[in-house]
Structure 1
Amino acid sequence: MAWTAIVVIAVIVGGLLGIALYGLMGLSNPLLGVLATFLIYPAFAMLLIWLGTKLAFVPSVLVVERLRLGAGVRRAWRLTRGQFWRTFGIRILCWGMIWIATMLVAVPVQLLVSWLASIVAGNGDMGDYLAVTRAGDAVASLIASVIGAIGLVVTTSTDALLYLDVRMRREGLDLTLARFMEQRRPTTRFDPAEPDPYHPPAEIPASQLRAMPIDDTRGSGWG
């Protein structure tokens, strides 16, 4: 909740500052206002893309590793180091697919509404035309909301899978989990003495690391 609130507040404040700056530049000089349109909005969009990609793993880190907010932000920032373009490419591909799916549904609905409106209001009655148009807009908005809800689940799952993939590539999380399941007592549901396999490697005590088997031929999994 805290992270969501911070993101929402940052976007609102950033948008208001951009609008205020654009308005001041437009009032001082109309030509400068036109130039600001091609400078402020692209710069703001690039900043959002960069920060959104660098901090994409913050929710996953907070939930999986149970770190505090500040530590979680620093941890997510480090995980995306060297993985920016890969993370950005996969996320933009996911968003693009959801946008295309929304358009594939919304455009036929709009065409159908226009066709029905022309038939119902064939006598030129604007009341019937507006009624059909408003009903069609409501249906289109409902369909877009459903697709958007599904898309939110997909994009969130994509970020979580990317987070796990980065940890498996860099820290051998898959090997850590496999060794954890091998050494865990089958009859034990929860043992406080057991190390949490999802914690970052630096946070696991050295005594627990030495107690974990390392006979996997792929290495220790912490590199």
Structure 2
Amino acid sequence: MAPPKPGIIPLRPLQFGEILDGAFQTIRRNAAAMVGSALIFQAVSQVLLGFVSVAMLQTAESLDSVQSRAELNVIMGPLLGLMAGTLGIAVLTGFLGSVLQGVLVVPVSRSVLNRRTGFKQMWKLAAGRMWRLLGAASLLTFGGLLAIGAVVGIAVVLLMSMGPIAFAIVAPLWLGALAAYLWIALKLMFAPAAIVVERLGIYDGLLRSWQLTKNSWWRIFGITLVVNLMVGIIANVVQIPVSLAAGGIGSFVSPHADLASNSSALLLTTVISTVVGVLVGSVTFSFQTSVSALIYMDLRMRRDGLDVELMRLMETGGDADGVPGAPSGTAGVGPWPLHGPPWPSDGGQQPGPQQRGPWPQA
């Protein structure tokens, strides 16, 4: 008998095509909650980035009129400040994206049992985990910045002390650092989902993600890589005609190449590109987050027997207003109750395949 499929996916370990199909269905069924939230997030980040980009281009154009070292120093200060602002916006975007990833797992989890989730309901269900989500996002963001800063610092010291020959060391260093960053990032990718669904703390959520990805890293990497390539190609296909159209409109609005006309054309094209970027980014971000959440559900079905628990919820209709997948009787105390793991630790046997405990082995 085929496993039941009450919602977007069958209640069994998933295949790649089922993950993609489930992500599309989740967005279609919960468009207001998922695309609406992602639209707000993308609008804030794109508007901030657009303002900084326009100001940076206008400041850079003023370099043509520089005639002395003093004027150059006056212009370079704001230009460096705008460049730092761009970096800050990128960091803020990554931080907020990590938080929103944990929030959007709510409608994905509920859609598994064919439960629709509204915008207000989604944020209400995630509100109790918000401080832990913010803490985990801060820790992940700070750790990434610290790692990047350490690698850049080591590379600068080597180049300054050894000269051009240091490139023979810096290039492998950068490749090794990139590989380590990808490995750790994928190992911790499901921490926001675990914090929200399983009601874990910050440390337990990170540990839980690390355990779930054990022996599954390459599969997760392959799915994530293919999805990111798909999203990137679609976004570029949409942006190319928009950029050409925006350039044509800019040429029509400012046919004369004076500074005021160029500024007006630049502002117009930036607004058009920003609006389209926000719309495309909100859909692609929702899709990527849905895929990530479904991978998390798949890992739990493979390791925890979550499919059995979901079948039980489907039959009984229990916790109709909650988030499916939350452990019963463990309100955020960690990946197992405080008295220890759910199997005996004094020489007893751990659960075998016929005794599917609610948590994987450490």
When normalised by structure 1's length, the TM-score is 0.75
Q: Residues 53 and 84 of structure 1 are in contact (CA less than 8 Å); yes or no, is this contact kept in structure 2?
A: yes
Q: Tell which has more relative contact order, 1 or 2 (C-alpha 8 A, sep 6+).
A: 2
- Name the CA shift for 1:201/1:6 in 2 (closer, same or farther; >3 Å): closer
Distance in 1 (CA, whole Å) between partners of 2:208 and 2:142 is 22
Structure-2 separation of matches of 1:103 and 1:114: 16
1:158 is aligned to 2:295: no
Match in the other structure for 1:39? 172
Show the counterpart of 2:193.
60
Measure how far apart 1:147 and its partner are: 2.7
Q: Does the CA-based 8 Å contact 2:313-2:319 persist in structure 1?
A: no
Distance, in Å, in 2 between the alignment partners of 1:8 and 1:27 is 28
Alpha-carbon displacement from aligned partner over 1:167-189 (angstroms, at most 9, x marks no partner):
1122221112223554x587999
Distance 1:202 1:138, change over 3 A: same
Shift of 1:31: 1.1
Percent identical pairs in the alignment equals 25
* Distance (whole Å) between structure 1 residues aligned to residue 262 and residue 226 of structure 2: 38
Residue 12 of structure 1 corresponds to which residue in structure 2?
Answer: 145
What runs of 5+ residues in structure 2 fail to find an aligned partner? Answer: 1-133, 344-352
TM-score (norm 2): 0.49
* Alpha-carbon contact 1:177-1:197 (below 8 Å) kept: no
Instruction: Tell me the distance in 2 between the aligned counterparts of 1:97 and 1:122.
Output: 37
Equivalent runs, 1:1-223 vs 2, <5 Å: 1-35=134-168, 37-182=170-315, 184=316, 196=328, 203=337, 221-222=356-357
Partner residue in 2 for 1:212: none
Residues in 2 aligned to 1:70 and 1:61: alpha-carbon distance in whole angstroms: 11
AA of the residue aligned to 1:22: A
Per-residue CA deviations over 1:44-75 (Å, capped at 9, x if unaligned) read 32122101111122112111111222222222
Shift of 1:111: 1.8
Q: Distance in 1 between matches of 2:266 and 2:182?
A: 36
RMSD between aligned alpha carbons? 3.4
Q: Structure 1 pair 33/153, CA: closer, same or farther in 2 (3 Å)?
A: farther
What count of residue pairs does the alignment treat as equivalent? 207
